[in-house]
Structure 1
Amino acid sequence: MRNDDGMSNEEGGTYVNPGGEFTRDQRYIATRITADGRDGYPVEPGRYRLAVARACPWASRMIVVRRLLGLEDVLSMALAGPTHDVRSWTFDLDPGGRDPVLGIERLQDAYFARFPGYERGITVPAIVDVPTGQVVTNDYAQMSLDLSTEWAAYHRAGAPRLYPEELRDEIDEVNRVVFKDVNNGVYRCGFAGSQEAYERAYERLFDRLDWLSNRLANQRYLVGDTITEADVRLFTTLVRFDPVYHGHFKCNRQKLTEMPVLWAYARDLFQTPGFGDTVDFDQIKRHYYEVHKDINPTGIVPSGPDLRGWLDPHGREALGGRPFGDGTPPGPVPAEETVPIEHTPYAA
């Protein structure tokens, strides 16, 4: 079986590739939920459940997009705990360790319900068809785009245009290079099995972060003058950079807090409703430091870093731009989805 980071997870967890360079397994379930139901799964309010873990950057994208678009009452959310074992993510945050809607303890049960003996990654995010208990898709890149397009009839009033048609080519190109060198680049550093593979990934990562700093020095957002899918995808890596990637994955040329443009950009997004209010720093750190035992065999979770800087003024308003365009911010987080305050910068 392969885990959410795309590597073999036998004997309690092996993530580093002994052959050298980390290669992510990107064979996902490509079934789509669409307005016309062409794959057999039409968009229907209440029919599906989004399985996520706040620890996972890929799942965090879906949490942010779902909240920005106001789909909470249309697509319910199952929250797995921050750690998993060789078999699967588990719903150990729920009473009795069982998701109250799907009635399962492990996400693998939904995968096996559709594909008995499924041998690829039991990954989050995944969308499950509630009536059958079967997984529909775990193709995270397409899933968030479909929330913006196929689910448009159910967006809240004032929802932002995260994937506007006139900017899609540019968004797609930015997403492509950010995924290759940054989103996946940090894993290529952390899971490298040779000095040479690590150094190649390290150089690519920081070259791309320098490129992003230059791009964002004079514009508030990555593409256009509002938040888009591109900002969501970069944010979920940046918010994890100092807590886990800098130390745990040896991405240590600089901390995010030492890269002035990206640090201000990340704070700007964090302080935008729909971004920072979905982030659980405690779960993020527990996942990486407890699960990756071949990198951190003691399982000790660091106490730092100090999170209070996330609330400092960012000054990015001077660049113009409007986060929601002609729309409005999302409303308050539903009570049952609120991140515990002790896991946020607001606890200080």
Structure 2
Amino acid sequence: APGGGRASGAAGHAVEGPGEATGEVTAPPLATTARVTGRRSLAPGIVATTLEAPEIAAAAAPLQFVQVRLPAGGGGYGSVPGRPFLGRPFSIYDADAGSGRLTIVYRVVGPGTEILAGLEPGATVELLGPLGRPVPVVPSRPGAPPALAGPLWLVAWSWKVAVFRLLAVRALAAGIPVTVLLAAEGEAARVLAADWAPLVPPAPGARPGEPPGLDPGEVGGHLAIVPPAQLPSFLAAALDRDDTGGNGMSGVTDPSLDGAAGFATTGAGSQRPRLFAAGPRPFLQQVQRIVRKHPVDAFLVVDAYMPCGYGACLGCAVPVRDGAGTRYVRACREGRWFAAGEVIL
């Protein structure tokens, strides 16, 4: 509904969802026409577009996303050559209720994202959101179950770290220690790190040339950057370090893993860390194998084809394990994040 309004399901009813305290979809999504207010490049082929959508920006929570449909032109949907008919899901990179703006980050890979990346300020897109299961960082109301507790580890492959920025911002604001482990190299690592530096400074042992970052004050935080090929051993070493409860990297002799000590320090303490990982499927499978051996609550952000974004089309079904065996859930409603021990990749 251009101009704002609640979206309807296939039968013409609002798409309902359970309460926020359980990490479920909290309210029917909003459909609106959003105005482009800015765009910038984060890394080669990685673009951030900022949109003015006050109601969605005010309602957005960490790990939620929006569906974007491009302008149709005078002839209706499909009248612009190369314009996808269906909406496309984009993670909410940042959301500011005060300004009424939200930012999405994406990789330019086809005609749809090429058109989106080329939109100038003042252009409009159709927006549906916020969608997906939010991570409850702070209680939304008195009497709500405990918020996200314990140190937070965010593990990402290259530009996929964008999925976690809103979660990191909200967690740091709530006094939750945050550590970001970014598997990236070269220019992508430098540019992406620069965008995260104001949130969390590099960990001890960080690679030369990384931006220094800003001290987040009393809230602990680290940004560790490692070459993608080293990430499995780096993560395993960090988790082993956290298991010991001591200082240093006992049993780790590879100098390239020195940064893991700083990465793990934030996770040490009486509370078990919570780890969220985002990236391509092989990367998530690696993380899944590693975390099985350690006492860490781990969750994986799963990408899936989402034609509708709110559960009506069932196009984003993901297999998960439960007490009865295997069943399918919708990534757009019950996800996009799942317990690492339950989701089948």
Of structures 1 and 2, the larger Rg is shown by 2
Higher strand proportion: 2
TM-score, normalization by structure 2: 0.28
TM-score, normalization by structure 1: 0.28
